[in-house]
A and B are shown apart, each in its own frame.
Chain A
Amino acid sequence: MSKYYVNKFLYTVDRDPRWVARYKEDPARALADWEKDVGIWLNDVEKTSWVSFTDEERQALINQDYVWLFENGAHFFLSLTLFVAVFEEDYTREHGPLSFQREFARKLDHWLGKDYPSVAL
């Protein structure tokens, strides 16, 4: 598990409208591009040589699988805010305000009353 790198994906995509649009449009393609263009980026000149996803992480991000991400300790705030950006508009149009947020909660209800997976790295 490279929690840090998963969080880096959520963080850098969420803060840039161009990446949010790309991730909404074609998650697999966006993820592959992101790994080349953003993931290994430390600054304009410097790269980080050792960061990468596991296959499961890559699959979860391609599938926009916020349940898997929660269960594997991705940061709850990053996950919520990015998937709200991806899904909320369509859900609100079809099912009303907060319908996405409530479905997100429902899909995790098997965690009620239990200790959640830690977001610590």
Chain B
Amino acid sequence: MAELTAVLASTHHPFYLKATTAPPEERIPQADEWKRKVEAYRETLTAAEPDILVMVGADHFHQFFLDNYPTFMIGKQNKYDATFYNEEREFGIPKYVLEGDVAFSNFMHQGLLDRGFDFSFSHELKIDHSIICPIITVRPDADLPVVPIYTNIFAPPLPSPKRFWDLGRAIRQVIDEYPTDKNIAAIGTGHLSLELGGPRQFGEHGPDPEFDRQAIEWLSTGNIDAILENVTHESMSGAGNATHGFMDLILMMGIAGPENADYVDQLDLYHTREMFMTWYPNKNGRQAAAAEQSAAVSGGTAGPVTAKVGVTA
């Protein structure tokens, strides 16, 4: 059976590449720190020695629109083009072609149908920055086959936070049942509090730092009860009009289970807070060492944190 060697949940920030490759005189002040944190986070994936990546994201009206917007969708291809013209234009993200894994996509699709998730599917999916951002940050060689899963965090009405958690749990079961000797890592991105196209956008910090601190505690301690008690579509809107991307982080926690995270880091940036979290479902020595080493480099922690910044739970 497959071994799920790591679950990574992070924010995606499409300006990362531009911000860290600009000429030094044009870089934002946090660019070097940001890069150091991202590269430390990357090591937590490398230590999981993944062979296949299950990747969770959401199409930002690049391929899908309101004439036909999938709630949950899986790609089923041998190859995936990535990066749309308007993402190159706005964020300077390059184009990629990622390998797929059709057999695993098919197995995942059937497994999710069997568990009551009636997925939409695509045989001509082009991937956007919700999946390419983590490729850039944690696997820049883009050398592994992917199984892409998209969710709707964007075009209301949206599924409930509970549904995202349940979907994560179902994905975990399917991964665990997949007959392969390969290592699988699950990587998903979403957002903490975020505002786009509204009065709180592009401030000095994210729109709701208090929500962010709380959310990182909930996720890193695997506290699904607190999330389901406190997080609703309305409360997320209150934290910022695009905060619903948090539900993809709930989904990733669903893949990991109600467990303490093994690596947690964050960075308060203009516009939004970055979060970098890793779970090792069967943590081995190499992974434990990588988490410690990365935490020493990044200033993060090799374990969960409480809402009081940086304090180990």
Contact = CB atoms under 8 A, between A and B. Distances in A.
Contact of A70 (B155, B198, B270): B198
Given A109-B199, A115-B237, A77 B61 contact: yes
Contact of B90 (A85, A105, A109): A85
A118 B156 contact: yes
Interface stretch (A8-16, A26-34, A55-63): A8-16
A78 B252 CA distance: 26
Interface stretch (B38-46, B95-103, B139-147, B200-208): B200-208
B242 interface: yes
A79 B66 contact: no
A39 B247 CA distance: 33
A17 B202 contact: no
A45 interface: no
B85 A17 contact: yes
B115 interface: no
B297 interface: no
A61 B262 CA distance: 49
Nearest to B84: A15
Given A70-B197, A116-B237, A118-B156, A85 B202 contact: no
Interface in B193-251: 196-203, 237, 241-242
B308 interface: no
A116 B202 contact: no
Contacts, number: 77
A15 B83 CA distance: 12
B116 interface: no
Interface residues of A, number: 36
Given A11-B61, A102-B202, A105-B203, A80 B196 contact: yes
Given A105-B203, A120-B156, A77 B60 contact: yes
B157 interface: yes
Given A85-B90, A118-B156, A119-B156, A112 B201 contact: no
Interface string B44-85: 000000000000000011100111000000000000000011
Contacts of A4: 66
A54 B60 CA distance: 26
Given A101-B201, A112-B199, A81 B86 contact: yes
B218 to A, nearest CB: 24
A8 B66 contact: yes
8 contacts: A8-B65, A8-B66, A15-B62, A70-B198, A77-B61, A81-B86, A105-B201, A109-B199
Interface of A: 4, 7-8, 11, 14-17, 66, 70, 75-81, 84-85, 98, 101-102, 104-106, 108-112, 115-116, 118-121
Given A17-B85, A98-B270, A108-B198, 10 more contacts: A15-B62, A15-B85, A76-B197, A76-B241, A81-B86, A85-B86, A104-B197, A105-B203, A110-B199, A111-B199
